[in-house]
Amino acid sequence: MSTHDLHRLTASEALQLIRTDQISVEEYARSLLKRVESRDSQVQAWAYLNPNLILSQARALDKVPKEERGPLHGIAIGVKDIMYTKDMPTEHNSPLYKGSLIQVDASPVMTLRNSGALIFGKTTTTEFASTTVGPQTSNPYNKGRTPGGSSSGSGAAVADMQVPIALGTQTGGSIIRPGSFNGILGYKPTWGAISREGVRMYSINLDTVGFYARSVQDLQLLADVFRLQDDEIPKPFILPGATFALCKTEVWPEAGPGTIKAMERAAELLRAAGAETVELDLPEDFNGMQDLHRRISQGDGRAAFLGEYTTAKDKLDTFLVGQVENVSGITRREYLEALDVVASLRPKIDRIASRYAAILTPSVPDEAPEGIESTGSAVFNAMWTALHIPVVNIPGFSGSSKLPIGLSLVAPRYKDRYLLNVSEEISKVFGNGGWQSDL
Amino acid sequence: MSTHDLHRLTASEALQLIRTDQISVEEYARSLLKRVESRDSQVQAWAYLNPNLILSQARALDKVPKEERGPLHGIAIGVKDIMYTKDMPTEHNSPLYKGSLIQVDASPVMTLRNSGALIFGKTTTTEFASTTVGPQTSNPYNKGRTPGGSSSGSGAAVADMQVPIALGTQTGGSIIRPGSFNGILGYKPTWGAISREGVRMYSINLDTVGFYARSVQDLQLLADVFRLQDDEIPKPFILPGATFALCKTEVWPEAGPGTIKAMERAAELLRAAGAETVELDLPEDFNGMQDLHRRISQGDGRAAFLGEYTTAKDKLDTFLVGQVENVSGITRREYLEALDVVASLRPKIDRIASRYAAILTPSVPDEAPEGIESTGSAVFNAMWTALHIPVVNIPGFSGSSKLPIGLSLVAPRYKDRYLLNVSEEISKVFGNGGWQSDL
């Protein structure tokens, strides 16, 4: 591979070249920077990016003795701009935090940096990752369309090969939706499996830290670094003979032609690969999850933004002002009922999901909608987020405009490693889904 | 009141004097500083305290036009040193954060500062508020005894009248225990009611931000500022005819003579005041809460300290290293089961508690134990913390060494304002419990 194509590498591929002295971290970083330079006017994925800082970090990494190098040595990682980074501002896309430099790393950033990662820059987000008002970022496949949100820049930067890995967070669908819109893997681990220390909070009961990558192997690497161990080390997943549950959910009427076709095509591909598929209608208790999710996020939002509200409510998005003021009028009773009902459904979905190889369900209504003002709908993600179970968006399909569409694989809580093993096989199968990145 | 006694005022009393121009914020602050000066060698409640910063803030507050003053104008507040303060270091009692200056306020600090509070200094804590190894702080009533923990300095400083209000957090018993050991009010609101943004995390499922004060009126003031609204504005609580449930809990064998006597005396006082008391044995489902609490905190701790562990595990307390390495061997299944069982008990305890005026239950096994190396036992607090319900420690009793002992009042979730109303009456009744501060 010529050095000007290094940006195309997955993290695992880049690691291999760095480990065997075929490339330096600096060469790798320069290739990514060149990619950013050529594409930034189109994509605008970065809230903060400092080439000098990147190169000086890269050179420092190159000087680390081999025996002291970490498992992610030299791997460039984009950090969603609601997570503290000790050497870069953290602005939350809020005028209240313009230029705010917090000199500590958020826990996930700390873990990555200590594992040898090259913290590359801060990726754009919606305000506090809590609204659906898009930042300036475009979908790398179409400048006139959203990359999704709230992890807008992370999704776009990984898809556009400006970095191989980026951090995201999800309260509704903020990891999975950009994963689908940008044709990459988005992984929302089990809630609580990764510390959110130093990561801006919207809903303490829902927010989950996760990742974007272009290969499942890279997600496995991250899962190693973050010690995402299942109780038992799962065996490599064997697809033939496995049974997948196709779960359209109660919001299926929201699915557009792209997602409807993707679900059909996915089922065909699975069966062609020797797997079985069954339709899964969740028990009636799971109806109303959209409303329960909304009650939880808005109930949590009542406390989350009070500090900034008392600082300058005119500098907060009106949606967030409305959370503090509880304009939707959700009572404490309605909020607690939502918490309790959803909590009671978590062990139920664990039991249901454990009967299948995995549950396959839509990631999005359809391909990325037009315009960048709105980051799109989380209608297909909210339920799984509230249930705290791990979800991986697997790309492979496309909509009527040939833009990417992915589907979600879900598994029981803390079966993350198992789900990644399944995802490894499924991503190969969905590779024949009709869509390929042409970037 | 002479100016050299101003430190004795509750926040509400000081506010009244400041509002009516009888004292300036600077005079008030100087009185507190003088108290600190005379007592610090004995109590050592402060991790950071800068008299110049305090006085310059006080003078700035004095210059604020009357119509722009907040509801806490000039009130000095101690902040537990696991909460970010933009103008003071935040060290978490960890060598990894020596001198660490994070230039942003934690959300509760932001809300208080924007309400006119004088952020006075940082109070001592156990390491990351997550161990029971005491800081240098002593119980203000006895230099050889612990003030409790992890909110050691906050409890001691409020009891010692160095500040009228301080912030604490509770994962096990870190607000209620120091409340009891120091003979003051400790208030742990409903979990999630106050944002913990910028507050160091141990257990995301348990940690709760709360307060210390010397009058319930001060807690009401704080509840106003933090918008802790119940669904209905509760009426003033009428004690005669009310029924209190005395709940000894399954850990009653841990109660020493001081707490046994306090529970008896409390029941007598309540009945003498015209209330009724009944013994409450919780249903069997509530047995095993100690173990469930431990599984949750340790399961959460597995993620909470990974960042620092990867930075320098030799600089972490071995207990915290053990959390990351899961030395107790709690499986994901055992952890999830604990989360699910406790979640199912929350609406149950709400229903049970709603049948009584409040539940009265021990705060501690007995008065503060000897030595400052260990901050004591949270055995009587863990259950209520895990159940997310509001708890107020009411002082009034004492043990064999004449040191203070308090009792806990608990109510259903988000009946915080109701519970404060009850606490207002009960604190008067327990004022005849035999113990009075002689500081």
- What is the arithmetic mean of pLDDT over B84-96? 98
Per residue in B98-111, pLDDT (tens digit) is 999 999 999 999 99
Q: Which of B106, B111, B303 sits opposite A192 (nearest CB)?
A: B303
Angle at A46 between CA A43 and CA A52, to 5 degrees: 120
Q: CA-to-CA distance for A276 and A281, rounded, in angstroms? A: 16
pLDDT at B332 (0 to 100): 98
Q: CA-to-CA distance for B266 and A101, rounded, in angstroms? A: 52
- What is the arithmetic mean of pLDDT over B226-230? 98
pLDDT at A434 (0 to 100): 96
Per residue in B246-292, pLDDT (tens digit) is 999 999 999 999 999 999 999 999 999 999 999 999 999 999 999 99
Shortest distance, CA B86 to any CA of chain A (angstroms): 10
Please name the residue of chain B whose CA is at the shortest distance from the CA of residue A332. B231
DSSP label at B286? G
A235, A181, A203: which is closest to A372 by C-alpha? A181
A203, A291, A333: which is closest to B350 by C-alpha? A333
Segments of chain A scoring below 70 in pLDDT: 1-4
pLDDT at B10 (0 to 100): 98
What are the distances in angstroms from CA A149 to CA A139, A168, A263, A375? 11, 9, 23, 5
Residue B8: how many CB atoms within 10 A of its CB? 16
Please name the residue of chain A whose CA is at the shortest distance from the CA of residue B97. A104
- The answer for residues whose C-beta is within 8 angstroms of residue B31's C-beta and 6 or more apart is B3, B4, B5, B6, B7
A75, A7, A74, A78: which is closest to A46 by C-alpha? A78
Residue A341: how many CB atoms within 10 A of its CB? 18
Instruction: Please provide the average confidence, as pLDDT, over all residues in chain B.
Output: 97
Shortest distance, CA B112 to any CA of chain A (angstroms): 8
- Assess whether pLDDT exceeds 90 at residue B310: yes
Peptide bond preceding A94: is omega within 30 degrees of 0, i.e. cis?
A: no
* Contacts A231 to B, Cβ<8 Å: 331-333
pLDDT at B35 (0 to 100): 98
Shortest distance, CA B44 to any CA of chain A (angstroms): 27
B3 — pLDDT class (breaks 50, 70, 90): low
Q: Do B111 and A324 touch (CB under 8 A)?
A: no
Determine which one of A94, A115, A151, A174 is catalytic. A174
Q: Which residues of B are catalytic?
A: 80, 150, 174
pLDDT at A13 (0 to 100): 98
Shortest distance, CA B317 to any CA of chain A (angstroms): 17
* Contacts B193 to A, Cβ<8 Å: 303
Q: Do B413 and A332 touch (CB under 8 A)?
A: yes
Q: Do A105 and B307 touch (CB under 8 A)?
A: yes
First to last CA, chain B: 17
Q: Positive or negative CA dihedral for B389, B395, B400, B401?
A: positive
pLDDT at A1 (0 to 100): 59
- Assess whether pLDDT exceeds 80 at residue B433: yes
- What is the arithmetic mean of pLDDT over B373-394? 97
Q: CA-to-CA distance for A300 and A7, rounded, in angstroms? A: 40
Q: Do A195 and B343 touch (CB under 8 A)?
A: no
A66, A56, A70: which is closest to A20 by C-alpha? A66
B357, B409, B403, B402: which is closest to B380 by C-alpha? B409
Please name the residue of chain A whose CA is at the shortest distance from the CA of residue B89. A103
Per residue in B117-129, pLDDT (tens digit) is 999 999 999 999 9
pLDDT at A49 (0 to 100): 98
Q: Do B306 and A107 touch (CB under 8 A)?
A: yes
- Assess whether pLDDT exceeds 90 at residue B2: no
Q: Which of B103, B313, B332 to mutate to test binding with chain A, by most A CBs within 10 Å of its CB? A: B332
pLDDT at B4 (0 to 100): 66
Per residue in B313-369, pLDDT (tens digit) is 999 999 999 999 999 999 999 999 999 999 999 999 999 999 999 999 999 999 999
For A257-403, where are the E strands, in sequence order?
276-279, 358-362, 391-398
Write the DSSP string, B62-114: HHS-GGG--TTTT-EEEEETTB-BTTB---TT-GGGTT----S--HHHHHHHH
Tokens of B237: 């609580």
Q: CA-to-CA distance for B127 and B122, rounded, in angstroms? A: 14
Q: What percent of chain B has pLDDT over 90?
A: 99
pLDDT at B1 (0 to 100): 59
Angle at A188 between CA A187 and CA A189, to 5 degrees: 105
Tokens of A137: 């970022």
* Contacts A105 to B, Cβ<8 Å: 307
Q: CA-to-CA distance for B409 and B361, rounded, in angstroms? A: 7
Q: Do A201 and B192 touch (CB under 8 A)?
A: no
* Contacts B389 to A, Cβ<8 Å: none
pLDDT at A314 (0 to 100): 98
Q: Do B310 and A110 touch (CB under 8 A)?
A: yes
Shortest distance, CA B390 to any CA of chain A (angstroms): 14
Q: Do B332 and A230 touch (CB under 8 A)?
A: yes
Q: Do A114 and B346 touch (CB under 8 A)?
A: no
**Residue A80 falls in the annotated catalytic set:** yes
Please name the residue of chain B whose CA is at the shortest distance from the CA of residue A91. B104
pLDDT at B130 (0 to 100): 96
Please name the residue of chain B whose CA is at the shortest distance from the CA of residue A331. B231
Question: Which domains, from first to last, does chain A contain?
Answer: 3-225 (3.90.1300.10), 243-282+347-430 (3.40.190), 289-333 (no CATH)
ipTM, 2 decimals? 0.97
